[in-house]
Amino acid sequence: MITVKNISSATVVLTVPDLRFRRELVPGREIPISQEEYDTMMFDPGISVMIQDHTILFSGVEDDKKVTVEDSKIYEPSVIKKMLEDEDITAFAKFIPTAAPAEKDAVVQLAVNMGITNSGFVALIKKYCDVDVISAINTKHLVEE
């Protein structure tokens, strides 16, 4: 059985007009698809970009039919959250320079929601994601008041 999973921190909409296929995937949601749907999706440039950006992940595909866009490790939001919770700056520093765009979005969202103020994490996020987490946390607090 082939499945597609949203491994990003945002809602993803998969649309393939040729198949009359439209699915909305909230973060972490995984749905089954047929071999025909998978084969058609692999020719869609938008799907290819989502795979490359580590937004979606296909599982259950036979090795000879597997389409790989990039061979870098994929970090799901739960793994990123654990790094931040454990304050594992070493693992985070190895991960963040090569993180895909969806992973960087997850880092920023998690850091703001968790109120991360550790200077090491804040500096790395500023450098590689171009977001000032401290300012984002302040803005979040102002909006919530």
Distance (Å, rounded) from C-alpha 57 to C-alpha 52? Answer: 9
> Which residues face 2 on adjacent strands?
33
Q: What is the per-residue pLDDT for 140? A: 87
Distance (Å, rounded) from C-alpha 97 to C-alpha 91? Answer: 11
Record the pTM.
0.74
Domain boundaries, the chain: 2-62, 77-144
Distance (Å, rounded) from C-alpha 10 to C-alpha 29? Answer: 11
Is it the case that residue 63 has pLDDT exceeding 70? no
pLDDT digits (tens, 9 = 90+) for 91-123: 999 999 988 888 999 999 999 999 999 999 999
